[in-house]
Structure 1
Amino acid sequence: METPQLPSPLQGREFAAVVIGASAGGVNALLEILPALPKAYPYPIVTVLHVMKGRQNQLAEVFQQRLAMRVLEAADKDELRPGTLYFAPAGYHLSVEDGGVLSLSQEEPVHFARPAIDITMASAADVYGPSLVGILLTGANQDGAAGLAAIGAAGGLTVVQDPVEAQVAVMPNEAIRLRQPDLVLNLQEIRSLLLKLEKKQ
């Protein structure tokens, strides 16, 4: 089977990091797209999931059993490294600072969420600009829409899960309403996109 041509938003661009946000239905969505990635994936992937406090360690463990990539719960002052999937810990906002260093805080929730997708995406956009890929998946509130818009405003590549396919369409629909993303894709297409990004290295 021939590999499809790269979508035009990827052509002539270089990337350095991926940030993914999801809420309701997000675990299943991530398990559809991430296990296909190789151990030596060339970018760090920072993921923010809305989950109950105390479940984050279980998530990292569950995903490590299914992924070739290294999976970690993000810790304060961690440096982002290629081939590693970082989960924002429950109860903490996760920011990306200059040099790709992670920072945790316990400021007020955003859209009733801590960690908030908006905070992680907006801070990563400030650091990586056009070399950042932002992906927003299924979810039941508005968190992530403004963050993805910030990635787009900084020149990064923005991807939203097709609301028709999403387990809960509120989050994808809000992102599309706020700022038209570069790509609206189903989970299979998002998985293919992440693999195509690897070939750009």
Structure 2
Amino acid sequence: MEIGDYALGKTPVVALVCSAGGLPALSTVLSGLPADLPAAVLALQHMPPDRPSLLHVLLDRATALQVEQAEDGQPLTAGRVLVAPPGRHTLITTEETIALIPSGSTPPYRPSADLLLTTLAVVTGPRAIAVVLSGHGNDAATGCTAVHRFGGTVISASLESSAQPAMPQATIGRDAITDHVVHVDDLAAMLLTLTTTPLLEPPER
């Protein structure tokens, strides 16, 4: 088995989710990841559903990875960051492709971290790595519970390193589902370690 192989040779998938204060955190994490990262990356930040987003453009400037706004039917690919677009919930299909569905103009959070992480957990199991960054509210806590239940890894930014700590706090407070609490500046190094270490069995709980 080559370094970076996960779950019988399939690619790990990192999901970075955030809300208010998340752009600097996303930029910090992605800037520390190499272009040949042996993992697919998803980035999701809450945003108004009726406005265009330049999040993918801003993140592309911060990282050596290829960054694109996610499109319906797009496959998850190692070394590529797919950014959830406004006005659509981003889900993962059983074929490990992107499924975009209209989010509507009312809550839940848009786009929903819980929906993304739950579908990612069901499809990729122990290959899922959920990372909760700065934000208001409690979106991602339920999705991270699913990631934990299906054998994946849950990481939360430390509260002192989060501009808005409510989202990471909600995940940390969920019945010991969080595997690691890490300063934002150290998240990239942890992700490199996790995605370059072979994993054949779900971690022990």
Aligned match of 2:3: none
1:125 aligns with 2:125: no
1:85 aligns with 2:81: yes
Asked if structure 2 preserves the Cα contact closer than 8 Å seen for 1:110 and 1:116, the reply is no
Aligned match of 2:139: 143
Which of 13, 16, 21 pairs up with 1:17?
13
Unaligned segments of structure 2, at least 5 residues: 1-5, 199-205
* Distance in 2 between residues matched to 1:107 and 1:55, nearest whole Å: 14
* Distance change >3 Å, CA 154–CA 111, structure 1 → 2: farther
Letter in 1 for 2:102: Q
Asked if structure 2 preserves the Cα contact closer than 8 Å seen for 1:111 and 1:143, the reply is no
Higher RCO, Cα 8 Å, sep 6+: 2
- The structural deviation recorded for 1:34 is 0.7
Matches within 5 A, 1:43-62: 43-53=39-49, 54-56=51-53, 58-62=54-58
Asked if structure 2 preserves the Cα contact closer than 8 Å seen for 1:78 and 1:101, the reply is yes
- The structural deviation recorded for 1:198 is 4.1
1:70 aligns with 2:69: no
- The structural deviation recorded for 1:23 is 0.5
* Distance in 2 between residues matched to 1:39 and 1:182, nearest whole Å: 26
* Distance change >3 Å, CA 97–CA 109, structure 1 → 2: farther
* Distance in 2 between residues matched to 1:100 and 1:109, nearest whole Å: 27
Instruction: Provide the TM-score with structure 2 as the length reference.
Output: 0.86
* Distance change >3 Å, CA 127–CA 62, structure 1 → 2: same
Letter in 1 for 2:191: L
Asked if structure 2 preserves the Cα contact closer than 8 Å seen for 1:109 and 1:116, the reply is no
Asked if structure 1 preserves the Cα contact closer than 8 Å seen for 2:113 and 2:143, the reply is yes
Deviations 1:58-106 (A, max 9, x none): 1111111221111010110011111000110001000001121110001
Secondary structure of the residue that 1:127 maps to in structure 2? helix
Which of 180, 183, 199 pairs up with 1:183?
180
* Distance in 2 between residues matched to 1:103 and 1:65, nearest whole Å: 26
Matches within 5 A, 1:147-166: 147-166=143-162
Which of 94, 100, 103 pairs up with 2:96?
100
- The structural deviation recorded for 1:55 is 4.1
Runs of 4+ in 1 over 6 A off after TM superposition: none
* Distance in 1 between residues matched to 2:195 and 2:95, nearest whole Å: 21
Asked if structure 2 preserves the Cα contact closer than 8 Å seen for 1:80 and 1:100, the reply is yes
Aligned match of 1:28: 24
* Distance in 1 between residues matched to 2:144 and 2:195, nearest whole Å: 21
- The structural deviation recorded for 1:158 is 0.6
- The structural deviation recorded for 1:107 is 4.4
Asked if structure 1 preserves the Cα contact closer than 8 Å seen for 2:48 and 2:110, the reply is no
1:195 aligns with 2:185: no
Instruction: Please tell me the root mean square deviation across aligned C-alpha atoms, in Å.
Output: 1.9
How many residues were matched structurally?
A: 189
* Distance change >3 Å, CA 109–CA 128, structure 1 → 2: farther
Asked if structure 1 preserves the Cα contact closer than 8 Å seen for 2:47 and 2:110, the reply is no
What percentage of residue pairs aligned between the two structures are identical?
25
